[in-house]
Amino acid sequence: MAEVDARADRRSEGIVINDDWPGYSLDLFSYPAHYSGDLDCVIVPHGVIMDRTERLARNIMDDLGDHDIVVLCVLKGGYQFCADLVERIKALSRNSNHTIPMRVHFIRLRSYLNDQSTEDLHILGAEDLSFLAGKNVLIVEGIVGTGKTMETLLEHVKAFKPKMIKVAGLLVKRVQHSLASVPDYVGFEIPNRFVVGYALDYNEYFRDLNHICIISESGKKKYKV
How far is CA 201 from its chain centroid? 12
**pLDDT tier for residue 7 given thresholds of 50, 70 and 90:** very low
pLDDT score recorded for residue 10: 47
pLDDT in tens, 116-147: 554 556 676 656 788 899 999 999 999 998 88
**Residue 192 amino acid letter:** N
**If we measure between CA atoms, which residue out of 86, 55, 92 comes closest to residue 73?**
86
For the chain, what percent of residues have pLDDT higher than 70? 85
Quick one: average pLDDT of 173-189? 83
pLDDT in tens, 67-115: 889 999 999 899 999 999 999 999 998 888 878 889 999 988 765 555 5
pLDDT in tens, 80-90: 999 999 999 99
pLDDT in tens, 138-180: 999 999 988 888 888 898 899 999 999 999 999 999 987 666 5
**If we measure between CA atoms, which residue out of 42, 55, 44, 53 comes closest to residue 8?**
55
The pTM of the full predicted model, rounded to 2 decimals, is: 0.87
pLDDT score recorded for residue 2: 40
* N-to-C CA span, the chain: 35
Q: Which structural domains are found in the chain, ordered by start?
A: 52-193 (3.40.50.2020)
